[in-house]
Amino acid sequence: MTGYRTVVITGAGRGLGLASASYLYARGWRVVAAVRNVEAALAALREATGAADDDPRLVGVRLDLLDQRSVETAAATVRDLTGTPEVLVHNAGIAAAGMVEETPMDLWQKMFATHLFGPVALTRALLPGMRAAGAGRIVLISSAGGVRGMPAIAAYSAAKGALERWGEALAGEVAPFGIGVTVLVTGVFDTEIITDSGTTSFRDFTGPYRHLHTSIDRRGRAAMKIANAPEKFAAALAAALDDRGPYLRRAVGADAVSLLVSNRLLPARAMHQIARLAMGLPRFRAMAASRTHKEASSNHG
């Protein structure tokens, strides 16, 4: 055997996944990049790491989380090429903006398939080997949207919240077999996913939610200017791979730390108001039509 510790990272071709894969490779890990476009991901990773084309510590596996057959094939390929991995990192994700009224149902389905159903399927396929090894760690990458339901990204927020609840349940199931689960709650990081090009937008800036969109968009762009460097996340992930507890939840970034502390100490009503004020949203009923106006409209009808 090679003696390498193997980590499988989904979505390792860009953003936090690319930064993490590069960081871990530099520290002696064998990295399996599970991605949709293997050639592009390996090219990016080789450029970032200086790895040779035939380096056995850098492996690419095609994975489409929306395709069950692709997930099963990817798991089989991982087993054939590297054996049972020590760590599985569910990092792949997509972003979309729009109010619940504006976002189509196929987006919700794609969001849950990417952030929950695909990761569950890949984990199921790799768990037998990890159980047989009696060790391993599964790392789930969550975000502020998984801690609190965030306006204008409800589909993403719901999927990340579901990912966290799955991780909690999974931890109780696999702990007796020596497998641990870590959830990393990320703050805002400087990657493509927070930009216009990395986010699918369903926002209607001329519709009934136009004022909310304008306010949220303005504050979001301000937050992008102080986003954390991806390398900071990579270092935190590397530390998490050495976790020994059955279930751990870590915040990555000062903004994520602040959110987790506030969410633990403050009641839900207070957190709702804090989020509303932070996003510059109108107060309760501020945009509702008055009863008098409704009655007048009814009488004229």
- Known catalytic membership, residue 247: no
Tell me which residue of 211, 209, 139 sits closest to 174, measured CA to CA.
139
- What tokens appear for 7 in the block? 């980590």
Tell me which residue of 222, 218, 162 sits closest to 188, measured CA to CA.
222
CA 230 to chain CA centroid, Å, is 14
At residue 9, φ and ψ (nearest 5 deg) are -125, 115
Choice among 25, 156, 209, 247 that is catalytic: 156
At residue 202, φ and ψ (nearest 5 deg) are -115, 15
Tell me the three-class secondary structure of the chain, residue by residue. Answer: CCCCCEEEEECCCCHHHHHHHHHHHHCCCEEEEEECCHHHHHHHHHHHHCCCCCCCCEEEEECCCCCHHHHHHHHHHHHHHHCCCCEEEECCCCEEEECCCCCCHHHHHHHHHHHHHHHHHHHHHHHHHHHHHCCEEEEEEEEHHHHCCCCCEHHHHHHHHHHHHHHHHHHHHHHHHCEEEEEEEECCECCHHHCCCCEEECCCCCCCCHHHHHHHHHHHHHHHCCCECHHHHHHHHHHHCCCCCCEEEEEECHHHHHHHHHHHHCCHHHHHHHHHHHHCCCCCCCCCCCHHHHHHHHHHC
Active site residues: 156
